[in-house]
């Protein structure tokens, strides 16, 4: 079994799910008391949040590259980054190491195309929805049409993610508002919705909406285990 290197802490709420999912999937596939071989380096999210709001992605890239090199030196065979938004600096991470880096958008794009969907909604931070580092992969590599919420809804999502979800606050009110955003996008013809912030699947269970949801944390974890067990 190969060793999965996980850069975590963005936030620790979703990082604990990565650890849980990776181990659950390995146990399901191998049986018995098997568990995943994981190395995790967890950052202080307060610093990452500050630099992202300052639009200092160069600094974030340097920090992520250092964490990636630390995991490679410790013996990781593959790297995953436990957040959607910080994949904005994925190129910097890939350039810093010689081991494979598994991009969350590519894993998600693969899961969507397995269901033969063509038009999907994307929920996440403002950075994930408005910058093209995520949607470009989905559009160019998987031929998907990606719909994002309107400006008011994007502002709401940004606020609820940073002021509630990353702090472990998951309310019924926030769930209902996010479900309403999804319903609004359904009127634009989306066939499924990407929960493109690793905390969003905690807030919005599959049963809360009537169309397929794509839990990027679980999808990413499954793809990492696929690699680890080959």
Q: What pLDDT digit, counting tens, does each position of 75-133 carry?
A: 999 999 999 999 999 999 999 999 999 999 999 999 999 999 999 999 999 999 999 99
Query: Each residue of 149-202: pLDDT tens digit?
Result: 999 999 999 999 999 999 999 999 999 999 999 999 999 999 999 999 999 999
Contacts of residue 155, Cβ cutoff 8 Å, sequence gap at least 6 = 126
Q: What is the pLDDT of residue 30?
A: 98
Average pLDDT over residues 47-68: 97
Q: What is the DSSP code (8-state) at residue 195?
A: E
Query: Each residue of 134-155: pLDDT tens digit?
Result: 999 999 999 999 999 999 999 9
Domains of the chain: 4-103+218-228 (3.40.50.1860), 105-215 (3.40.50.1860)
**Mean of the per-residue pLDDT values of the chain:** 97
Q: Is 83 a catalytic residue?
A: yes
Contacts of residue 125, Cβ cutoff 8 Å, sequence gap at least 6 = 84, 85, 157, 158, 161, 162, 197
Q: What is the pLDDT of residue 20?
A: 97
Q: What is the value of pTM for the model shown?
A: 0.95
Tokens matching residue 56: 């200092």
Contacts of residue 80, Cβ cutoff 8 Å, sequence gap at least 6 = 4, 5, 6, 7, 18, 101, 102, 104, 220, 224
Q: What is the pLDDT of residue 223?
A: 98
Q: What is the pLDDT of residue 82?
A: 97
Strand, coil or helix: what is 84?
Answer: coil
The closest of 86, 199, 195 to 149, measured between CA atoms, is 195
Annotated catalytic residue: which of 108, 128, 135, 197?
A: 197
The backbone torsions φ and ψ at residue 116, rounded to the nearest 5 degrees and listed phi first, read 60, 35
Q: What is the pLDDT of residue 41?
A: 97
Average pLDDT over residues 55-74: 98
Bridge-based pairing state of the strands 4-8 and 38-42: parallel
Q: Cα dihedral angle (212, 106, 87, 193), rounded to 10 degrees? A: -10
Average pLDDT over residues 192-221: 95
Strand, coil or helix: what is 116?
Answer: coil
Q: What is the pLDDT of residue 111?
A: 98
Q: Which residues pair with 119 in a beta bridge?
A: 145
């Amino acid at each position: 079994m190969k060793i999965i290197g996980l850069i975590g802490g963005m936030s620790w709420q979703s990082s604990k799910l990565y650890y849980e999912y990776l181990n659950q999937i390995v146990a399901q596939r191998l049986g018995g008391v098997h568990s995943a071989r994981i190395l995790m380096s967890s950052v202080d999210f307060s610093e990452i949040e500050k630099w992202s709001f300052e639009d200092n992605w160069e600094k974030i890239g340097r920090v992520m590259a250092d964490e990636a090199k630390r995991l490679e030196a410790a013996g990781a065979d593959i790297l995953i980054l436990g957040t959607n938004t910080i994949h904005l600096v994925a190129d910097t991470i890939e350039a810093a190491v010689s081991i494979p880096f598994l991009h969350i958008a590519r894993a998600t794009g693969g899961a969507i195309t397995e269901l033969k969907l063509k038009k999907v909604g994307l929920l996440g931070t403002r950075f994930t929805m408005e910058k093209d580092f995520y949607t470009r992969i989905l559009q160019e590599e998987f031929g998907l049409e990606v719909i994002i919420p309107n400006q008011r809804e994007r502002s709401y999502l940004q606020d609820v993610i940073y002021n509630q979800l990353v702090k472990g606050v998951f309310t019924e009110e926030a769930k209902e508002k996010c479900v309403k955003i999804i319903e609004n996008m359904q009127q634009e013809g989306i066939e499924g919705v990407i929960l493109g912030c690793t905390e969003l699947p905690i807030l919005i269970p599959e049963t809360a909406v009537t169309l397929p949801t794509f839990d990027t944390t679980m999808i990413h974890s499954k793809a990492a285990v696929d690699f680890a067990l080959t």
